[in-house]
Chains A and B, each alone.
Chain A
C-alpha cells in the first residue's frame, strides 16, 4: 500500500483529528492571507503615492558670501546677490536630463502691477502711489499648475488653463477679482508697473478660486489674496531685461522619487553647473511625510507575518507531536513490515498537506471578512490621508500562501518526526508494547 493511500485512509477514518488539523490550518492561513493582503495594499498605496507626488530637486542661489559689501540708500544698507543666477541655458540643460519630467520656478511677488483698465478689491487704506492707484503682487512662474497653492489644493482652476513655459504676457486672476471687474478668460488687462514704469497688456488665460473669505481686514490691496495672481516668467524677462540675470530658484520634478538620487547625480555633473554658486538639494519632504507611515506599516506587517509563521510552526509542531505520539504503534508496525522512516515521514507530511490544500482554500472567505476589518482599521489609523487604501484578497496571493504553508508544514513535520528519526524500530516497538 502506497503512502498516499495510507494518507487518504488516515484522513478519512480519523475524522476528528483531521477536523482539528483543518481548523488550525484554516486559522493560520486566514492570518497569513490577511497579512499578505495588507502588505500588498500598503505597497500598492506607496507606489501610487510615489507616482502621484514624484520626487523633487531644488536648485537655489547660494547666497552665503555672495551678497557683496552692501550699498547705502535712503533705507539703510542694501545687500544684493552678486554671483551666478539660474540661467535659461542651465534650465534647458536640466530639462534634458534623463529622469526629469518637469521643472518650475515660483517667484512670489515678483511683479507689482496697478490696474489700468480694471480695479482691485478695495483695502482699508486707499493708497494711490501710482497714476493708476495701488499695485498688487503677482507670482512669476513657468508653470502655475506646479505652484504650491495649486499643488496643495488651496487654489483650484475653475476656468481656462494654467500658465505654461511657452506663454508670454499671460496671467491667472482670482474668480473674485474677475467677477468684481466682469472679466473672463480671453480678456486682456492692462497693468502699470512702477518698477519698469511701463504699461503692459496681459491675457487672462485662467481663473482660479480658493481666495473667497480670506480678505479679512487687509490694509493694502496686495494683502487681499483675491487681488494677487500669477504671470508668466517670459513677461518678467521682457519687462526687466536689464535687471534680471536669471531665475532665483528652480524646482525640478523627478518621475520616481526612489530614483531621485541618480537624477541628482546627473544634474550635479552637468557642465553648465560647474563652478557655479548654486545649491542643489533633494527635496523628498512631501513624499516622506506620506510614505513614512506606509513604510512603517509594511515593516510591521512583515514582522507580523514572521511572527505568524513562527507561531504556526510551534502550533503545528505541537499538534503533530501529539498526533505522532499517539501513532507510535502504527509507526512501529509500518517499520516492522519494512517501510522506511522517510516513507513514514512522507505519509505524515502528505496527511497535513492534503488537509492544508483544502483549508487554505477554505480560508479565503474568512480572509475576506478579516481584510475588510483590517482595511477599516488601517485606513483610519495608519494610512490616514492616503486615498485608496484598499485591502483585498487576490487569487495571486494563493501562490505565496501555499509556498509559505508548505514550508511551515515541512518544518513542523521534520521537527515533530524527530522521535521517529532518532529511534530504532525496536525502541518504538518496545515502548509500544
Chain B
C-alpha cells in the first residue's frame, strides 16, 4: 500500500527552467527506493517536494491519500517524513544525543547505541565524530522522529566504501525490519542495486529502472 504519492507534479525555476514534468508515482512502506540520475536532473528537488521543503509548481503530493499542503508543510515535515543529508546536517554545538532529541521526545541513547555509537560518543560534540558516525547520528535522528518516510539525499556520498556499505545496510534495515519507506537520491549504482525499486530521472521524467 502506498504511503506517499505524487500526482502530476511539475516543478520549474522562475517559471522557465522545467526540472520535473508531470511526475506521478507512489512509494510503499517496507521498501527502499533509489532515485538515480546525473547531477542537476532534479533528484534533490523531487525529495524536497516529497518532504514538504518546497511546493510543486503544479500537481499534488499526497501522504496517506491527503494533500500534504492541507495540514501544512511544517506539520508534514515534523510528523510524516525525516531527512538524511549527504553532509549529515547536524547542529554543531550539540552532542549526538541532543541532535537526536531535536526530533523526538524519546530517550536518544538507545537509538544511538543501536546504530553503533557508545555512550561516551553520544555525549561528545558531533564535530569530534567521524563522517560515518555523524551519518549514523543523522539516521538516528530520522528514526527517532518516528516518521514513516525517510528521505535520504546522497547518504553515502561523503563516506568511504566500507562505511557506505554499513550505512546502506542500516537503511535497508530501516525499510525491511522497521517497515519504513526509504527513498534515496543517489549517483551510486551500487547503492541502487541494493534498493527494492530503482527509478531514474531523465529530462524531468521518472522511469522505472530494470534490475
Which of A's residues lie within 8 Å of B, judged by CB? 1, 6, 9-10, 13-14, 329-330, 332-341, 424-426, 429-430, 432-433
- Number of B residues, CB within 8 Å of A: 31
Contacting pair A329 B89 (CB below 8 A): yes
Contact call A337/B103, Cβ cutoff below 8 A: yes
B93 touching A14, Cβ below 8 Å: yes
Residue with the highest number of chain A CB atoms closer than 10 Å, among B51, B83, B90: B83
CB closest residue in chain B, given A433: B87
Give bound CA distance, A424 to B57, whole Å: 14
**A422 to nearest B CB, angstroms?**
14
- Which one, A6, A332, A341, contacts B89 given CB within 8 A? A332
Alpha-carbon distance A13/B75, docked complex (angstroms): 29
Residue interface bits B105-132, CB-to-A below 8 A is 1, else 0: 0000000000000000000000000000
Known A-B contacts: A332-B89, A336-B51, A426-B54. Give 11 more (CB < 8 A).
A9-B93, A9-B98, A13-B93, A335-B53, A335-B74, A337-B141, A338-B145, A340-B74, A424-B54, A425-B54, A429-B89
Identify 24 residue pairs between A and B in the complex whose beta-carbon atoms are under 8 Å apart, listed by A's number: A1-B102, A6-B102, A9-B98, A10-B93, A330-B91, A332-B89, A333-B89, A333-B90, A334-B91, A335-B74, A336-B51, A336-B53, A336-B77, A336-B83, A337-B103, A338-B75, A339-B78, A340-B74, A424-B55, A426-B48, A426-B54, A429-B53, A430-B44, A433-B87
Residue B79, interface by CB 8 Å: yes
Among residues of A, the one whose C-beta sits closest to the C-beta of B99 is A333
In whole angstroms, how far apart are the Cα atoms of A429 and B76 in the complex?
17
Q: How far is the CB of B157 from chain A (nearest CB, A)?
A: 11
- From A1, A339, A430, A432, B98 is in contact (CB under 8 Å) with A1
Q: Does B101 contact A (CB under 8 A)?
A: yes
Report the nearest A residue to B76, measured CB to CB. Answer: A338
On chain B, the residues within 8 Å of A336 by CB distance are 51, 53, 77, 83, 89
Pairs A-B, 10 closest by C-beta atoms: A338-B78, A338-B77, A426-B54, A13-B93, A426-B53, A425-B53, A340-B74, A426-B48, A336-B83, A337-B103
CA distance A424 to B51 in the complex (A): 13
Q: How far is it, in angstroms, between the C-alpha of A6 and the C-alpha of B103 when the chains are bound?
A: 12
A337 with B83: in contact, given A9-B94, A14-B93 (CB under 8 Å)?
yes
Task: Indicate if B140 sits at the interface (CB-CB under 8 A).
Answer: no
On chain B, the residues within 8 Å of A6 by CB distance are 102
Assess whether B185 is interfacial by the CB under 8 Å rule: no
A338 to B78, CA, bound (A): 4
In the bound complex, CA of A133 to CA of B90 (Å): 110
> Which residue of the partner chain B has the closest CB to A330?
B91
Residues of B within 8 A of A425 (CB): 53-54, 73, 77
Inside 8 A of A10's CB, which chain B residues have their CB? 93
| Alpha-carbon gap, A340 to B71, bound state (A) | 13
A432 neighbours in B (Cβ, 8 Å): 89
